[in-house]
Chain A
Amino acid sequence: MTWLLNILEPLLFIAAAPLFAGWIKWLKCLAQNRKPPMPWQPYRDLAKLFRKETLVAEQASWIFYTAPYIIFSVAVLAATVVPFVSVDMPTAEIADVIVLVGFFALARFFQALAGMDIGTAFGGMGSSREMTIASFAEPAFLMAVFTLAVSASTTNLSAAIEYHLAHPHLIHPSYVFAALALMLVAIAESGRIPVDNPATHLELTMIHEAMILEYSGRYLALIEWAAQIRLMIYGVLLANVFCPWGIAQDTGLSELAVGVVAIAVKLAILNMVLVASETVLAKMRLFRVAQYLGFAYFLGTLGMLIHIVVEVGT
């Protein structure tokens, strides 16, 4: 039963990811007084891309052909690590959060290679930028996660969530810092506004779009879908780890229904926060990203320090 659930849950996750991305776009358009595309527009886009002919540059090597499949399958694997609707997923218990970071790094590695493979200027530029940002974002991510790991004494996400549900009245000041740090990293890593603008293909500013400029057809569809899954993984991670209430601890149907509703509500709230910040903020200069992510790293460190100073021994 748990294994069946474990197969169904990532499938639901993958299926819901485009809806989540479309929902953000829909809400953002409404917030900015524009006429929004329907939230399920990304499904139509993906379907269109899958139908279209796939054109590849003559110089492309095997890396270019295989990268989309690797990126997509790694994104799917990463989705199985994060507890989505119910907490006791066997795959989530096998792999911990460091594996999750490793999955992200693997996908990023192949994406950067594929960006450089064709040899156009934009691809190389995008890859170089992506790796620069990643090298700052990864330590910050790990630091935020370590703060969690130290207070729950595990790096396993399921175990950490269960620990929280078992100790509901512990206030963790360190979590506030860890959550903020993770939020900053999530924005940077999923290419949202102060770091990258997902809506444009402007030459000088794009990061993620620059790497996938040469892709078309089903390859592009896979990469886009993987990016949507990654965005949703960050959302679910923030929602479920820092505010685990409502997640199903059983495999009962009513519990699962509650779990689905709970995660939808949490993602909706997170969505509004994201849309508000994207509407208010402007994209920052590339060279300020290091400072921004340095701040995220620092918040993670501060969370760890606060945990050691204030929480240990009380």
Chain B
Amino acid sequence: MRRDLATADLREELPGIEPDRQLNDWGRSQRVEALFDGALGGFLYHYWFRVEVEGIENVPDRTGAVLAANHAGALPSDGLMVVKAVRESHPSRRSVHVTTDRVFRSVPGVGMVATKLGAVADHPANLQRLLFDESQLALVFPEGRSGPRKPINERYRLRRFDPGFVRAAGQAGAPIVPVAVVGSEESVPVLARLRPGARLPGPGPLRRLGRTLGLPVVPAVPLPAKYRIRFLEPVPPQDLASADAAEDLAQQIRALVQENLLEMVAARRSVWLG
């Protein structure tokens, strides 16, 4: 019965699924997801953003994979739409876990709802468990905090990709699917930004959030821009020996997404009609 613990494949020891539960061990709730989908998600996807999906066949059928997308705006509508796109148009209707900044966990309400909708804190151990142990899809925004920070006049110009996701994928042996999302920049444009570090009213965690992100000024309702989501050819998992190799691969993926974004933006005739 006993095996060598150092080499044992712990994937065999994952807890079983208890059919009576509505939440999984990550705290994701089927009920809240269905509720959100019925109330808002479906409407946004089909009628408000009129999402068009290309290259869904590039998302693997069973194995774990990192979806690396560009990120814009303070509201995570692009994340929600990518999740919905995979669920709607992928033949296996896979669910995607979105990794979010750990700061959000400390904001009352926000962290709770995000967790129930499938958000996971961007801890390397979490990615390893999702990708390697559970063979799940994880959506990451490698621009990190600087993605949603860029103002409207710098739209679709990607910031540096943080190589953390490349390392996590390499460690887990998971491919990376670069994702280009057009429409998100116009739907939640950052019109202005309060100076980071400005003294803001409000209790502790909110102040901390404001300090780290710099409070953006965004429209209260996402504007109805036309969304296009393109899933690119997967980049196979690579054994990354050095930190430089990870950095290089991350910037290669960034260039790939940037190229496709510019092509998609050039091809569209209207921001709102597509």
**A complexed with B:** no
- Please list the residues of chain A having a beta carbon within 8 angstroms of any beta carbon in chain B: none
